[in-house]
Amino acid sequence: MNLNEKARSLLTRNQHLLTSVCLSAFLLLVAAFRAPQLFSSSGIGSAIIVLAPLVLASLAVTPIVLAGRGGVDLSVGPLLGFLNVTLVAWLVEYGYSSPTYVIVYLVGIGVLYQIIIATIIIYVRVSPIIVTLSAYLVLTGVNLVILDRPSGVAPEWMFDWGNGATVFSPVFFVLCGMIVLWAIFSRTAFYQQILLTGGEERMAFASGVNTVGARFGAHAVAGVYTAMAALCYTALIGSGDPTQGSTYTLSAITAVVLGGTSLAGGRGGGLGSILGSICIYLISYVLATFNFGTVSGFVTQMSTGVVLVMSLLVNSAISRPAGETK
Amino acid sequence: MIMFNYLKDTPTIQKISINRSVLFGIGLLIFLSIAGTLLVPQFGSYANIRSMLLLAAFLGLASLGQTLCALLGGLDMSIPYVIGSSNILLAALLNWGVPWLPACLIVLIGGLAVGILNGVLSFRIQGQSLIMTMGVGLAVVGACQILISTGSVYGGTVLGTVPQWLRDVSSIAGTTFGLPIPPIVIIWIVVAAIVVTAMAKTSFGRSFYAVGGNRLAASRILISEYRMWLIAYAISGGMSALTGMALLGFSGGGFVGVGDPYLFTTIAAVVIGGTSLMGGWGGYGSTIVGTLVLTFLTTLLVGLGLSYAMQQAVFGLLIIPIVAFYARDRSIGDQI
Amino acid sequence: MEVCNSMSDTQNQVQISRVVKRFGETIALDDVSLTISPGEVHAIVGENGSGKSTLAKTMSGVLRPDSGLVTTFGESPRDPMHARALGVATIFQEILVAETLSVADNIFAGADSLWKRARSRAEANQKSRSILKQFSGLDIDPNTPVQQLPLSVKQWIVIARALLSNPRLLIFDESSAALDLDATTRLHAEIGKAREVGCCVVIVTHRIAELVRIADRATVLRDGRVVDELVGKNITKSNLLRSMSGKNVAIDAKVAAESMLGRELGSVVLSARALRVDRDAPPFDFDLHAGEIVGVAGLDGQGQTDFIRAAAGLISSHSGSISVAKPQGLGFAPIDAKTSGVAYVSGDRAHEGIFPNLSIFENFALPLYRSTFGEYGWIKRRQIQRAFDGEVKRLSIKTGRTSNLITSLSGGNQQKVLIGRAFAAGPKIIVLDDPARGVDFATKRELYTQLKEFVHEGGAVIYLSSEIEDFFDFADRVLVFRQRIPFRTIPAIRFSEHAFLAAMFGESEEAEMSFERVGAA
């Protein structure tokens, strides 16, 4: 009976994973039939290299979404791009490219940036969408000013990160490390405070939850994950690219939504975002196995849109209380 | 910025602050004109003014729907995608030999349909209208490109001849009944006049303000929030389609990326004009001012040698202080 | 209980001194001072809008007073987090829960600091389960999302959250509204336990019977001011009622008798059959006649609000029918808010009345645009201006410039604009939902005069009020709602403050007569 109950509680807790689990299982099945090379060592290896920045970017968006107020970080992509181009154009250029410098720099700037954003959201009380939208515009512009076209090289120690011939690449370890870190983070009291703040901010505030601290913290975590996403992204492309980083905003948000995290806040989690990212990768991977020729890019675009709309609808249907009649 | 505290509290003065946001915008326009004339040669030349008006007309038409959505507290992020889709769709239809009138009608109806779809899907989850409309937009633009490119070697662009009349409508050198003003500018002026009048003088227009100001009170006097929401998104879709078609005449060839700049500039025009994204305050008149400010500013920045990227950054930096000025959220303690 | 105001005592007491709190132009708390000692159950009583909830929020740190000081065990709470650290736990009127989170998460919200858990998840789960079993008698899985639970359990969750925080000051703001009688008794037992361990307990309520049973001290608020403080045995129903209403109750009956003068009831204009306000409520019938003013009263949440909204055609009733007489005696048609000629005026102006972004004139004119000129039509301003000027004159609205925002008017004048727009639509029935909330006495009088005129001309009025005295000299009969049906209908001739209160609290008429000599006779 106890076991049964535990299973039930596990189920109710993870209801939001329904879409992403089903979809990824289905896609894996299709992939197994159409392109079994995915499951080879190099197949998995390159999948991890490509997936890592997306997984980390979607994990970066997750705490901010969980903290509520309709806060979606639209600027996650441009921030990732900013860290990528400044790493290439400044740190490597001026010789501060040792791993320590690079990681301290990325995490420091990522967190600092998010703290500034959080300050504006909390104290100026401008809605998060507007703040991150403005930040998107600013960073997109700044990125192009720093680096007007794809150029530069990644730090030397990163050169062999991006080939993905084996499963156990350095990117794999970074990704695993960050996922483990997330697992720890999601078991802390701090994570709980973020969920409470996002679930019903008025309740949390009135019950004495440190809502301001939780919101700042959520943004700081986002900064750390964006920094690591930028690291993996730099490893993936091996250079600096001022525009491609911005595209991560849309895929990261799609991954979060697909993972069942409610954009209204307080519901969802990192596992969903990881599964959502995997789904996005698999969608384009599976679609690539069909011979769409020139339109394959458009098929991907369309399916991203359809998946986004569908998962939003499924989410809102699940999260509506059963007995609600009004 | 001295007016900050003065304006914030008393509601009587807030009324004036709306007018002030327009006055502020007009002041900014005058400032930009003077700065432009002094700093950029040819800024005040007739050719330059004409090209600024032309660009403002495209942005102004595209921002109409965004303004209506914002008045209700929503956002439409599908605008760039619908612009891009209608742009290439019209080019393709004309290429396939469809006569221009049915072709334009098909595109327009398509735009309206996408708008209605946006409205239906996002009404229940209004807080997420931004992501929802973006999803719809992506799906539409993907589908459109598949439709057009199937069997063709080009992706995303449609080469072919654009009829001369359409080129004339949106060309800088275009004339209207002998007047040396591009027809699209005249179209914008007419649309703007109709919209501004309708928003002020018809119960239809006032209903937007009623719903945006107080949903429950609006439903108590039997104004359907759902209907207004659908209409706003439908108009947004329709106007995006119109803009996309007009841009085809301007560029001379179908290109799906033609709408991309309008993703943020429509929102920027709305916000800089002084329309609150939380609904109820502002209007198309404000957006016209916002549009002109953005266009003047762009021209000035270009004249000063700033890249497109830096222009975007400047727009971004403008938005937060302006929203902080007009539309701050309530503090949490006041909501319990 | 000995109370001396030496310095050492401020460490153990809650002191509120000269607190003022304004919301815009209304003063919610006006120079309020009181002291709550440990081991004392201190009730704060008052009618709706007397400022009692605002006082509770000020004590819990949610609102900061505009002036004056709240000192809780020696310190002033800056925000709810600080208040919690000082040992303040509040159960707010609104049942605040995070619907998507689990029972345990909700119960222990605010217990942990940002970095450190106060207890393990297993312990939290086990404690949640046992305390809910103890309170509600139900065995609830602590992992269940709260949205799946009934309202009464949510109420217990909120109470458990407060009690488990080991409070030194416990504030209940109308927190037994969702509980039935048996549950209320259990809640009182918990309050008793808290008192025994030296906790300061504040109960904000208008359930008089409840506080007579448990309060050691009662502070009575009226219009944001402390008007009375009763101690121990002096806390009786009659004393409380007298202080709350501030009226000499004896006058009431005399005035009441005059209200029927010169009125003749016409035919039935609105008729409800087998109406249920919600799924579990029993059905009832109701008829409204032309030329009649029907009052509606009841404690909060007894179904009266749903009833009048259904009568205005705004919401559909859960079952049964409401129909409205067709013109020229052509029988009845189901109510339709668009065509039935029913106008609705709400006293909750901010929520469902005014459009804060529009001018005075537009707030008046908006519904007329549609009814007069079609749904999307051109506005003929001159025509509406005439109607507007007429109503402004008739209701003597002080408008200033009519293009000013509606929010530039005082609450009373805002309300007059809303009433004016209801009249201007030319209705046959006007339904008013507590329209006199926060409106001064003179304005109220004018409103009654207008409504009486309206019924003299053959109209009918349904008038919900939270203030009993509103009905005297005005209504022809009053339906008092209790447990989601009209518990008792009181005709004008029997109006008395106590007749209403007895009906609201579900006591028999005889019982009411015995404890106070003032009656209808």
User: How many other C-beta atoms are found inside a 10 Å radius of the C-beta of residue A250?
Assistant: 21
Domain of residue B81 covers: 39-325
pLDDT digits (tens, 9 = 90+) for C470-492: 888 888 899 998 888 888 888 88
Q: Following DSSP, what letter does each residue of C76-121 receive, concatenated?
A: --SSHHHHHHTTEEEE-SS----TTSBHHHHHTTTTS-SS--SS-H
Chain C nearest-CA residue for B202: C378
pLDDT digits (tens, 9 = 90+) for B290-310: 999 999 999 999 888 888 888
Comparing CB atoms, the residue among C97, C113, C165 nearest residue A200 is: C97
Q: Which residues of chain A are within 8 Å of residue B149 when distances are taken between CB atoms?
A: 294-295, 298
Decide if B269 is inside a domain.
Answer: yes
Q: Is the pLDDT of residue B7 over 60?
A: no
Q: Is the pLDDT of residue C252 over 70?
A: no
Mean pLDDT of the region B67-79? 94
Given an 8 Å threshold on Cβ–Cβ distance, is B11 in contact with C367?
no
Q: Is the pLDDT of residue C248 over 60?
A: no
Architecture per CATH, A17-315: Orthogonal Bundle (1.10)
Sheet holding C477-482: strands in order across?
C342-346, C429-433, C460-464, C293-298, C477-482, C485-491
Length of chain B equals 336
Given an 8 Å threshold on Cβ–Cβ distance, is A134 in contact with B154?
no
pLDDT digits (tens, 9 = 90+) for B190-210: 999 999 999 988 888 999 999
pLDDT digits (tens, 9 = 90+) for A232-264: 999 999 999 998 888 899 999 999 999 989 888
pLDDT digits (tens, 9 = 90+) for B229-267: 999 999 999 999 999 999 999 988 888 889 988 988 899
Q: Domain spans of chain A?
A: 17-315
For residue A325, what pLDDT is reported? Answer: 34
Decide if B2 is inside a domain.
Answer: no
Residue A80: pLDDT band (50, 70, 90) is very high
User: Which CATH number fits the domain that encloses residue B216?
Assistant: 1.10.3470
Q: Which residues of chain A are within 8 Å of residue C141 when distances are taken between CB atoms?
A: 5, 8-9
Decide if B202 is inside a domain.
Answer: yes
- Best B131, B314, B317 member to test A by mutation, with max A CBs in 10 Å, is B131
Distance of CA B178 to the CA centre of its chain: 28
CB of A210 closer than 8 Å to CB of C137 = no
Decide if B48 is inside a domain.
Answer: yes
Dihedral of alpha carbons C137, C138, C144, C146, sign = negative
- The H or E element spanning position B201 is helix B183-201
Phi, psi at residue C418, to the nearest 5°?
-65, -40
For residue B9, what pLDDT is reported? Answer: 35
The one-letter amino acid code at A228 reads: M
A191 CA: distance to closest CA in chain C (Å):
9
CB of C475 closer than 8 Å to CB of C463 = yes
Q: Following DSSP, what letter does each residue of B144-157 receive, concatenated?
A: HHHHHHTT-S-SSE
pLDDT digits (tens, 9 = 90+) for C384-405: 888 888 888 888 787 778 888 8
Joined tokens for residue A300: 């991907």
Dihedral of alpha carbons C515, C517, C519, C521, sign = positive
Mean pLDDT of the region A149-178? 87
Q: Is the pLDDT of residue A159 over 70?
A: yes
Residue C366: pLDDT band (50, 70, 90) is confident
Question: What does DSSP assign to residue A162?
Answer: G
CB of C324 closer than 8 Å to CB of C340 = yes
Mean of pLDDT over chain C: 82
Comparing CB atoms, the residue among B204, B214, B221 nearest residue C367 is: B221
For residue C375, what pLDDT is reported? Answer: 58
Q: Which residues of chain B are within 8 Å of residue C377 when distances are taken between CB atoms?
A: 202-204
pLDDT digits (tens, 9 = 90+) for A86-137: 999 999 889 888 999 999 999 999 999 999 999 999 999 888 888 998 999 9
Q: Is the pLDDT of residue B123 over 60?
A: yes
Residue pairs spanning A and B at CB distance below 8 A: 169
For residue A320, what pLDDT is reported? Answer: 62
C63 at B interface, C-beta within 8 A: yes
Task: Show which of residues 298-317 on chain C sit within 8 Å of chain B, judged by CB atoms.
Answer: 314
Given an 8 Å threshold on Cβ–Cβ distance, is B142 in contact with A305?
yes
Decide if B192 is inside a domain.
Answer: yes
**Checking phi first, is residue B150 left (phi over 0); if not, alpha (psi -120 to 50) or beta?**
beta
A50 CA: distance to closest CA in chain B (Å):
22
Chain A nearest-CA residue for C146: A321
C142 CA: distance to closest CA in chain A (Å):
9
- Best C66, C93, C366 member to test B by mutation, with max B CBs in 10 Å, is C366
Chain C nearest-CA residue for A185: C115
Joined tokens for residue C141: 């899985």
Least confident of B42-51, C249-258, C342-351: C249-258
Mean pLDDT of the region A165-193? 92
pLDDT digits (tens, 9 = 90+) for A18-61: 888 999 999 999 999 888 888 888 889 889 999 999 999 999 99
Question: What does DSSP assign to residue C226?
Answer: E
Joined tokens for residue C512: 């009411």
Mean of pLDDT over chain A: 89
Q: What percent of chain A has pLDDT over 90?
A: 58
Location of structure tokens 């736990």: C89
Q: Which residues of chain B are within 8 Å of residue C337 when distances are taken between CB atoms?
A: 222
Which residues, in sequence order, are CB contacts of C405 under 8 Å at separation 6+? B11, B12, B14, B15, C356, C357, C358, C359, C360
Instruction: For this complex, say whether ipTM is above 0.85.
Output: yes
Chain A nearest-CA residue for B326: A126
Beta strands in C92-238 (DSSP E): 169-173, 200-205, 217-222, 225-231
Residue C181: pLDDT band (50, 70, 90) is low
Q: Which residues of chain B are within 8 Å of residue A148 when distances are taken between CB atoms?
A: 307, 309
Higher per-residue confidence, B71 vs C473: B71
- Best A203, A212, A320 member to test C by mutation, with max C CBs in 10 Å, is A203
Mean of pLDDT over chain B: 86
A133 CA: distance to closest CA in chain C (Å):
26
Mean pLDDT of the region C285-304? 86
Comparing CB atoms, the residue among A9, A266, A323 nearest residue C143 is: A9
User: How many other C-beta atoms are found inside a 10 Å radius of the C-beta of residue A278?
Assistant: 23
Distance of CA A321 to the CA centre of its chain: 28
Mean pLDDT of the region C95-106? 90
Q: Is B173 helix (H, G, I), strand (E, B) or coil?
A: coil
CA dihedral (A288, A292, A295, A301) in degrees, to 10, reads -40
Distances (CA, A) of C372 to B183, C10, C369: 38, 64, 6
Mean pLDDT of the region C189-196? 90
Q: Which residues of chain C are within 8 Å of residue B281 when distances are taken between CB atoms?
A: 357
Comparing CB atoms, the residue among A13, A210, A266 nearest residue C81 is: A210
Task: Show which of residues 384-413 on chain C sit within 8 Å of chain B, judged by CB atoms.
Answer: 403-405, 407-408
Location of structure tokens 């995997």: A278
pLDDT digits (tens, 9 = 90+) for B207-223: 999 999 999 999 888 88
Q: Is the pLDDT of residue A13 over 70?
A: yes
User: How many other C-beta atoms are found inside a 10 Å radius of the C-beta of residue B308?
Assistant: 14
Distances (CA, A) of B192 to B196, B197, B266, B284, C208: 6, 8, 15, 8, 61
A306 CA: distance to closest CA in chain B (Å):
6
Q: Is the pLDDT of residue C162 over 60?
A: yes
Question: What does DSSP assign to residue B81?
Answer: H
Distances (CA, A) of C465 to A71, C238, C311, C454, C478: 41, 21, 15, 18, 10
How many secondary structure helices (H) and strands (E) does chain B include?
14, 2
Domain count, chain B: 1
B48 CA: distance to closest CA in chain A (Å):
25
Domains annotated for chain C, with CATH where assigned, are 7-245 (3.40.50.300), 251-515 (3.40.50.300)
The C-alpha atoms of residue C407 and residue C416 are separated, in whole angstroms, by 13
The C-alpha atoms of residue B59 and residue B266 are separated, in whole angstroms, by 7
Higher per-residue confidence, A159 vs B85: B85
